[in-house]
């Protein structure tokens, strides 16, 4: 027996769009609530600014926001060391680094300013 499917068997496009918007709003709200419940150190360490593939590409070295704000070098679990100069992010974006930036270029000046001027990062900066 063959079952025939018609267009009326599917929900209307507007219904699907409304449900998708509701899901997105709920998901983002939940994600922000959970993220804001983490300690500041965990939040800073969870935000990767740049990554570098290690030899077999199954391992990645990442530079977190905490690394960039608090140190001038970072060392991976594999023992690789990266120098984190003030123009590190610009070098990543320009392709002058082994790392690839994974945040929008528009954020570079603010993050670099926070590092260079030792701006105190507060919870409201990360929500």
What pLDDT does 123 receive? Answer: 44
Q: Can you tell me whether residue 35 is helix, strand or coil?
A: helix
- What pLDDT, on a 0 to 100 scale, did the predictor assign at position 39? 86
Residue ranges of the chain whose pLDDT lies below 70? 53-59, 74-82, 119-127
Report the candidate in 74, 70, 64 with the shortest Cα–Cα distance to residue 42: 64
Evaluated on CA atoms 102, 49, 26, 126, the torsion sign reads negative
* 5 belongs to a structural domain: no
Secondary-structure breakdown of the chain: helix, strand, coil percentages, each rounded to the nearest 5? 50, 15, 35
45-66: b or e for each residue (b if 16 or more CB lie within 10 Å)?
Answer: bebebbbbeeeeeeeebbbbbb
Backbone angles phi, psi at 53, to 5 degrees: -75, 135
Domain assignment present for residue 24? The answer is: yes
Domain contains 63: yes
Q: Which of 72, 68, 75, 62 is nearest to 114 (CA)?
A: 68
Number of domains in the chain: 2
Domain of residue 95, residue span: 40-126
């Amino acid at each position: 027996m063959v079952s025939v499917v018609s267009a009326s068997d599917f929900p209307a496009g507007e219904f699907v769009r409304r449900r998708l918007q509701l899901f997105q709003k709920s998901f983002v709200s939940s994600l922000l609530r959970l993220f804001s419940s983490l300690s500041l150190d965990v939040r800073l360490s969870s935000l990767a600014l740049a990554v570098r593939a290690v030899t077999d590409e199954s391992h990645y070295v990442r530079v977190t926001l905490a690394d960039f704000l608090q140190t001038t070098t970072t060392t991976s679990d594999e023992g690789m060391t990266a120098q984190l100069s003030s123009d590190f992010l610009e070098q990543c974006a320009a392709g002058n680094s082994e790392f690839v930036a994974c945040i929008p270029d528009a954020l570079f000046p603010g993050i670099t300013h926070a590092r260079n001027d030792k701006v105190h990062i507060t919870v409201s900066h990360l929500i």
